[in-house]
Structure 1
Amino acid sequence: MQRANLLNRLWRWFATGIFFVFFGLGGLVLSLIWFNLLRLLIRNPERLHSITLNSIKNSFRLFLNLLRRVGVLDYRIEGAELFKQDKGCLVVANHPSLLDYVLLASCMPRCDCIVKQALLKNPFVRGVIKSAGYLVNTESETLLRACEERLKGGGTLLIFPEGTRSVLGKEITLQRGAANIALRTGCDIRVVYISCHPPMLTKQGRWYNIPANKPLFIIKVKSKIVTQDFIEANDASPAMAARRLTHHLRSELILKNNEK
């Protein structure tokens, strides 16, 4: 039994490394070949953008299904059909793993995303970010205007309000960016909780820190939060409303943490 477990762990270690390479090369193929081909064939900007996002979503689905098939990990998505209701909606999720965005983007009908500016220096994902039209986290006021425009255009904006992956054993701390975007645009917020047991691809761990057992990712798509409920009639301070909403989001995500 111990020998079988060791061989299984070694296989998952080897396959994880191979798939990291595969993921990077896939980004280059999409950027250098597929997206350029689409630009030559499709002249309508809206149709081009839609096909580009669908190409990314389907690539992520393929990547995750292959990871599942070779036994690196397993995953379950509960309530994915709720995303069909989320045009012009902000999707807020906790962030325990490097795969969180891939998991969500693979099941959302449309996924606009805010990415770190540093990722534009990564040759493997830079082309994908630019082709998809993802929003870059730069100057706050510029970003707020861009988010407002994207949401009013029917986009579904994914944001991880922790700003980075969670640290195991520490309580989550949320930045107020998600609340500010929701309050400024008046959009509702869809809460999503992600868990991974045993932990894999965490902030502290490297890709080669493979857990003893095959990890299971569970994505729970929860109910919406009505942003308007956090704006009090006698409160003229946007900062206070953002503080209330951020506190509520944190309590929601902590509550989901305790539901494991």
Structure 2
Amino acid sequence: MSTHDPNHPLWPYKARIPGPLYWLYRGMRTAAVAFCFAGFWTGCLLVGWLWLPWLVLWPGTSAAKMGRALRAVHWGFRFFHFTMHTLRLYHRKTPFKVLRPNGIPSDTAAVLVANHPTLCDTTSIVSLFPNVVAVAQPAYAAHPLLKRVVRMCGFVPVGIHMIKECEERLRTGFDVLIFPEGTRSPYGGGIQPFHRGAFELAARAKVPVVLLKLTCTPPALSKRLPIWKYSDRMAVLTIEAVEMIHPADSGVDSRTWARTIEQRYREMLGYSASASELQSVGGVP
């Protein structure tokens, strides 16, 4: 479907520029997108292979070294997002200084659960909050340009040891970010079925789960949306901490929590649910 179709989600964000000037404008935006992605991978190479190895040589505990690496990547991601904002491509914002409901500070680590509308959700959150480690796809952990960043920052690849490694991160005071969908949300609206790992982790580690609501307007970098099909206006990702739950104290199993929280996200984001998704999940408030 073309973005010239008025029913297309990107139609309201199409620049009203006549003829040849419009395609010149599109060419400039495409070049800016290519520049940012080339810069991202170059930054991963420089930070992961040159800077982080020096940081971990400094004395300190493994948690201290991980914290130094995270802060370095935090500032790298901040520069990456500053560049995208300057080029009017992408901006992330949050009304809170801490990832807790109402911005209330907490001295307890938490599992952060979020929907996954864009490719830059993890970089957006880490660029704003340097105390967050993320669960990563195994492909990222094995990628030659990303694997050192993933390992040295304490990011946890999905696998059989994921829960144990995430518990270790929580015990050392880091928040753990998990996208229960396991991949980006589908383009055009909706969310993928939630997996139970985040809620199982919270129950075992006896820590709260903070629900993060991520909304991107206009849609950008979504699943099955090619990178070059970028809106003519800057995409804005809003990050909100909306609720805190305590699976460890509920007596409800993690599968039930996953179904219930998936339905809450559908309601928060205004997505309809099928009859099977609206089935009763009694016992969860």
TM-score class, shorter-chain normalisation, is: 0.7 to 0.9
Cα RMSD for the two superposed structures:
2.0
Distance 2:253 2:107 in 1: 23
Matched, 1:70 2:90: no
Distance 2:200 2:74 in 1: 28
CA 1:99 to 1:171, structure 2 compared with 1: closer, same or farther past 3 Å? closer
| 1:213 Cα deviation after fit | 2.7
Matched, 1:2 2:17: yes
Match of 2:266 among 239, 242, 254: 254
Which moves more between the two structures, 28-37 or 92-101?
A: 28-37
Match of 1:157 among 162, 176, 181: 176
Match of 2:246 among 222, 226, 230: 226
Other-structure match for 2:167: 148
Other-structure match for 1:178: 198
| 1:44 Cα deviation after fit | 1.0
| 1:75 Cα deviation after fit | 2.7
- Contact map agreement 1:193 1:220 (CA 8 A) in 2: yes
1:105-150 C-alpha deviation (Å, 9 max, x unpaired): 11124111111212233122111111112112111xx222222222
Other-structure match for 2:254: 242
* Matched residue SS, 2:135: strand
* Matched residue SS, 2:228: coil
Distance 1:89 1:205 in 2: 32
Other-structure match for 2:146: 125
Distance 1:81 1:114 in 2: 20
Structure 2 counterpart of 1:93, one-letter code? A
* Matched residue SS, 2:240: strand
Other-structure match for 1:208: 228
CA 1:67 to 1:82, structure 2 compared with 1: closer, same or farther past 3 Å? same
Distance 2:93 2:174 in 1: 25
- Contact map agreement 1:105 1:111 (CA 8 A) in 2: yes
| More helix as a share of residues | 1
Matched, 1:43 2:56: no
Other-structure match for 2:126: 105
Q: TM-score, normalised by structure 1?
A: 0.88
Distance 1:86 1:210 in 2: 40
- Contact map agreement 1:88 1:151 (CA 8 A) in 2: yes
Match of 2:110 among 72, 83, 89: 89
Structure 2 counterpart of 1:47, one-letter code? A
- Contact map agreement 2:184 2:223 (CA 8 A) in 1: yes
Distance 1:164 1:80 in 2: 27
- Contact map agreement 1:165 1:203 (CA 8 A) in 2: yes
Distance 1:149 1:37 in 2: 24
| 1:217 Cα deviation after fit | 1.4
Structure 1 counterpart of 2:165, one-letter code? A
Structure 1 residues not aligned, in runs of 5+: 232-239
1:67-107 C-alpha deviation (Å, 9 max, x unpaired): 10111123321223345426421000000110010111111
Distance 1:213 1:134 in 2: 32
